[in-house]
Amino acid sequence: MKVVSYNVNGIRSAASKGLFDWLEISLPDVVCLQELKAQEDQIDTKTLEEIGYSSYFFHAAKKKGYSGVGLLSKTKPDFVQIGMGIPKYDDEGRVIRADFGPITIICVYIPSGTTGDARQAYKMEFLSDFAQYIAELRQERKEVLICGDYNICHKAIDINNPDKHTTMSGFLPEEREWFDQFVATGLIDTFRVFDKSPERYTWWSFRARSKGKNLGWRIDYHLLSEEARRRLKSASIFREIEYSDHCPVRVELDMSI
């Protein structure tokens, strides 16, 4: 099973730049999308169906053109759950769960705290409640893959010039401590199993991109529960794909085991 996670920074814009063409060529089994910035009736689901995908979307209920997540799958899931059941987060369309046989895939778009103290506080509340949601889920579903834009660089190796970013949302000590505690519950950063080199980023500012500078942040992850470690075959970053200010990340799981 090949699973791609991608913050598209607006699915309509990404589609106009060739996102659906890329999907038709690469054909991952499951695609987790973040930051749709669209309502479901604004998304070209007909083309997705023609490519071979069932699609499930969760948009922001109170602020159109904001946030939103989606999950595409070549095989229909056994079960789909939209949201965490917590209105203050579900109003922003941030989580979708889908079960495929023994494995549960979560698509998450963790809030950014870059716009001020209130949003940073909201982000920290989300992180706490999301960790609790996952802990409760794992009591029922042992094999879990949590895909998405976490808006956090976990380690110094995951960000350019780490010493300059310690007071910035996304690399704050309390955010990194949350990440430490989250993975300590038995989660694997799949990419780092295969690649421990520096400067392996998934997001770059427009300025850095336009100047061709590799000054980025690795904030997009596939975290896999230890119970599913035996299935892990590969994990990679598609740095050559540029339909967004992020790039896709992929993990491959062996579901025959």
Residues assigned a catalytic role:
109, 149, 246
Q: What is the rounded CA–CA span in Å between residue 249 and residue 257? A: 23
DSSP, res 132: H
- Asked if residue 245 belongs to a known ligand binding site, the reply is yes
**Token duo for residue 37:** 């910035």
- Asked if residue 195 belongs to a known ligand binding site, the reply is no
- Asked if residue 246 belongs to a known ligand binding site, the reply is yes
Q: Which residue spans within the chain are E strands per DSSP? A: 2-7, 30-34, 54-58, 69-73, 79-82, 95-100, 103-109, 143-149, 187-189, 203-204, 216-217, 220-225, 232-237, 249-253
Q: What is the rounded CA–CA span in Å between residue 11 and residue 15? A: 6
**Token duo for residue 148:** 């998405």
Which residues are part of a known binding site for Mg(2+)? Answer: 7, 35, 149, 151, 245-246
